Copies of this chain bind each other. A is one copy, B any other.
Amino acid sequence: MKSVDQEEISRRRGIYFQGFGIYGGLSGLYDYGPYGSRIKDKVISEWKETMLSEGNVAEFDGTTITHTDVLKASGHYDRFFDYSVECESCHTKFRADDLVEKKGVPAVLDRQWLQDKIRELGIKCERCQGDLGEVKIQKLMFSVDQGEGMEPLFLRPETAQGMFVNFKEYYRFFREKLPFAMITVGRGYRNEISPRRALYRLREFNMMECESFFDPQNEMWIHDPADDVRVAFLTTDGVEIKASPKEAHEKGIVKSQPMAYFMGLALRFYSRVGIDLERMRFRKHRKEELSHYSSETWDAEALTDLGWIEITGIAHRGTYDLTNHMKHSGKDLYAQRVIPKREVNRAIKEIDYQKVKSESPESSAKIIAALKEGKTSITIGNQVIDLNRFVTEKEEKVTIDREDFVPVVIEPAFGFDRIFYTILDHNLSSREDSGYVLLKIPYTISPYNAAILPLMNKDDLDTKARSIFEDLLKKKFSVIYDDAGSIGKRYSRYDEVGIVYCITIDYDTIKGGDVTIRHRDTKEQVRIKIEDIPDYLGTDPWDGKKN
């Protein structure tokens, strides 16, 4: 097997390619073509199905343009940047931490540390070997101009924040019971210093994020972690342990039960979309790698031709986000838990109407209105009146059986484009001798159910093939019609883009009413009746029955 240039094949075959190619392209912006966008739809639908089948998970679909206050509360406004360093000769920009990591040194995200390390290790420009300048800060959020005299807004750097600010909508939807989770599939944006390797680091990317909410006193998902698949867990000590998510939690490798659960869910999803679990591991973040909000984070990493790459991050975000949004918005984002009934003293404020009435009639009406709005002072005429003197405080005994708390959040965030990259990496092969390329993705994410191929473009073979094609379309199969080139070439064409079945219409089809179905992986060819095609295509060969 030859190593495969995934990007080259993807461009040539219409799987994905750099955007705006006729204008020379734009760095970090990629499009999905006719095959890629269909595979994309199916991978996303597998993910949604995996998540939603949990029963306590609901979808959210929010805007990409984001309120600036949201990003101030989340910390992105102040803290979301990378360290860039520019070559003094050729002016190419690099991420300072990338350069250090490439020397095998785990990077610390600190400007001075990176500056010193680059000097110490004698790192030069990758392109021209020139000297590198000062390490600088580059903001990673794209700002969006609203026009003259208006503050700019921002494109979301993650979909998560839209979910946090709508926590209460979903809390009500789930009848005020925890745990539950929200999911969003959509675009995120980061103004990367050095976008690279096609889908690996994009400036506009696709995310599949899940935010799950827990009572910190009962941080448990509704199901147990999976115990059927064992993968590698790499701890911060560099120890690698093979375990199932359930075992990893029981052994204390993964502290949080929901985190272990989501690891299992991720593995289930990966395997449904054809990622090789033998080339997967979970790696725990070192303390200095952790985001400012996180106490425990695990990355799901896949081994690809780019090395180990992060395709999913599962982060314990604690109460960070909800607390900060409460602080910044002044709105209540609490959940409530039932507690044993007890009596407590509660201070209550009452308006002292007697005192108010001692003011002039007009003033007293205004004072009462202001007090009801919760104001503490009011200006009448030129006079500022302190309203506290019209309020009396009393203590009252009340029975309570609920108390407020801030839910903790665990977030499994799936990077769609890197998952797509990994699917191709794990399933594309190429034969050295012939250059023959095969994309062995599962039937469920195959871009089309089948290709319909008349052997020749004459003698009614094309008419017959067309009628089979149209009939399958009516039955809601996704099929592709192709009459150009030799049958062998057409088989190869569809092997390259992962279509499992090729259906050939030949002279015997016209006589006997049967067709040849060829299987992508086995190359096995079977003859079946035309009327049996829908049943055949309707059965997932990975699910049983065939192969």
Q: A residues engaging B (CB < 8 A)?
A: 14, 17, 19-23, 26, 29-34, 36-38, 40-41, 48-49, 52-55, 58-67, 69-70, 138-139, 142-147, 152-153, 155, 162, 165-166, 168-170, 172-173, 175, 187, 189, 191, 203-204, 325, 328-329, 331, 333, 469-470, 473-474, 476, 478-479, 481-484
Question: B138, A31: Cβ atoms under 8 Å?
Answer: no
Identical chains in the assembly = 2
A29 contacts which of B36, B63, B166 (Cβ < 8 Å)?
Answer: B63
Cβ B31 vs Cβ A59 within 8 A? no
Q: Which residues of B contact A474 (CB under 8 A)?
A: 53
Inside 8 A of A478's CB, which chain B residues have their CB? 52
Q: Which of B145, B169, B469 contacts A142 (CB 8 A)?
A: B145
Given contacts A23-B329, A61-B37, contact A17 B169 (CB under 8 A): yes
Identify which of B30, B34, B139, B333 contacts A147 (C-beta below 8 A): B139
| A34 partner, pick from B66, B139, B169, B479, beta carbons under 8 A | B169
User: In the complex, how many angstroms separate the beta carbon of A109 from the nearest chain B beta carbon?
Assistant: 19
CA gap between A173 and B481 in the complex, in Å: 11
Of B54, B64, B166, B204, the residue contacting A204 (CB under 8 A) is B64
- Known A26-B67, A65-B189, A204-B63; judge A33-B329 contact (CB<8 A): no
Query: In the bound complex, do residue A14 and residue B204 qualify as a contact, i.e. CB atoms below 8 Å apart?
Result: no
Chain A to chain B contacts (Cβ below 8 Å), 10 pairs: A20-B69, A31-B162, A33-B166, A34-B60, A34-B169, A37-B59, A53-B476, A138-B147, A175-B482, A175-B483
CB distance from A57 to the nearest CB of B (A): 10
Q: Assuming A53-B474, A65-B203, A473-B55, is B19 touching A33 (CB within 8 A)?
A: no
* Complex-state Cα separation, A479 to B56, whole angstroms: 10
A68 to chain B, nearest CB (A): 9
Choose one: B23, B36, B165; the contact of A70 (CB below 8 Å). Answer: B23
B19/A162 in contact, CB under 8 A: yes
CA distance A104 to B352 in the complex (A): 56
A211 to chain B, nearest CB (A): 13
Instruction: Name A's interface SS.
Output: mixed
Q: Which residues of B contact A22 (CB under 8 A)?
A: 165, 168, 325, 329, 331, 333
Chain B residues near A155: list those with CB within 8 A: 144
Contacts A469-B55, A481-B55, A482-B175 given; indicate if A169 touches B33 (C-beta within 8 A): yes
Pairs A-B, 9 closest by C-beta atoms:
A37-B61, A34-B58, A20-B67, A32-B61, A37-B59, A22-B331, A22-B329, A31-B62, A175-B484
Known contacts A23-B329, A52-B478, A145-B145; 14 further A-B pairs (Cβ under 8 A): A17-B169, A19-B62, A19-B67, A21-B166, A23-B67, A32-B62, A34-B59, A34-B169, A37-B61, A41-B59, A53-B474, A64-B187, A142-B146, A143-B145
A64 pairs with B61, CB closer than 8 A: no
Instruction: Flag if B65 contacts A204 (CB, 8 Å).
Output: yes
> B48, B53, B69: which contacts A473 (Cβ < 8 A)?
B53
Residues of B within 8 A of A61 (CB): 31-32, 36-37, 40
Q: A80 CB to closest chain B CB, in angstroms? A: 13
Please measure, in the bound complex, the distance between the C-alpha atom of A155 and the C-alpha atom of B23, giving whole angstroms: 17
For the complex, what is the distance from the CA of A153 to the CA of B169, rounded to whole Å?
Answer: 35
